[in-house]
């Protein structure tokens, strides 16, 4: 899974760097989702009371704010990249890992809402939208970092 990172070499092409960023992005997302499911599934099996509309709204707004903050921080990291340098590639990889936390936030929240269909659907939809947004920024970051 990490082979694209090991085989980048001194001056990787934008395509090779993009493949590495995509792998790191997916690994970062999996690193958040797996523990979330391990915690959320037993929680759902034990059952919980129905959540009120106010709780659902607060959960959605919190997930949106946290996801936006994570994407903003990842973009800020990616802007610090010096094109064509090893440090720039390292920063772009760091930005990809940070970007993976953006859809991870609503996914983790969704894991606690497995028995709440409306909350689960809303949080999964938000995670998908934010995940696609993060995924679509990776080509720009690889172009910038590869110089």
What are the tens digits of pLDDT across the range 108-138? 888 888 788 888 898 999 999 999 999 999 9
Q: Is the distance from CB of 130 to CB of 103 less than 8 angstroms?
A: yes
Q: Is the distance from CB of 26 to CB of 2 less than 8 angstroms?
A: no
The per-residue pLDDT for 42 is 81
Q: Is residue 8 part of a domain?
A: no
Q: Which range of residues forms the domain containing residue 106?
A: 23-37+53-146
* pLDDT, mean of residues 1-15: 62
Q: Is the distance from CB of 14 to CB of 146 less than 8 angstroms?
A: yes
What is this structure's pTM? 0.80
Share of the chain above pLDDT 70, in %: 89
Q: Is residue 124 part of a domain?
A: yes
Query: For residues 64 and 42, which has the higher predicted lDDT (pLDDT)?
Result: 64
Domains of the chain: total:
1
Residue 45 has pLDDT above 80, yes or no: no
Q: Is residue 4 part of a domain?
A: no
Q: Is residue 75 part of a domain?
A: yes
65 pLDDT band, cuts 50/70/90, is very high
Q: Is residue 44 part of a domain?
A: no
Least-confidence region, from 4-8, 63-67, 112-116:
4-8
The per-residue pLDDT for 18 is 87
Q: d(Cα 105, Cα 110) in Å, to the nearest integer?
A: 9
* Average pLDDT across the chain, whole number: 84
Structure confidence by residue, pLDDT tens digits, 83-116: 888 888 888 889 999 999 999 889 888 888 878 8
The per-residue pLDDT for 9 is 59
Q: Is residue 17 part of a domain?
A: no
Q: Is residue 29 part of a domain?
A: yes
Picking from 91, 87, 59, the residue whose alpha carbon sits closest to that of residue 77 is 91
């Amino acid at each position: 899974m990490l082979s694209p990172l090991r085989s980048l070499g001194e001056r990787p092409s934008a395509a090779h760097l993009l493949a590495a960023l995509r792998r790191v992005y997916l690994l970062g997302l999996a690193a958040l989702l797996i523990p979330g499911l391990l915690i959320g599934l037993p929680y759902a099996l034990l059952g919980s009371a129905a959540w009120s509309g106010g709780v659902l709204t607060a959960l959605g707004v919190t997930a949106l704010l946290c996801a936006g903050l994570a994407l903003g921080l990842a973009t800020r990291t990616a802007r610090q990249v010096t094109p064509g340098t090893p440090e720039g590639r390292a920063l772009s990889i760091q930005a990809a890992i940070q970007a993976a936390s953006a859809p991870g936030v609503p996914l983790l929240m969704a894991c606690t809402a497995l028995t709440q269909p409306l909350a689960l659907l809303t949080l999964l939809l938000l995670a998908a939208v934010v995940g696609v947004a993060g995924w679509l920024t990776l080509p720009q970051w690889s172009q910038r970092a590869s110089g």
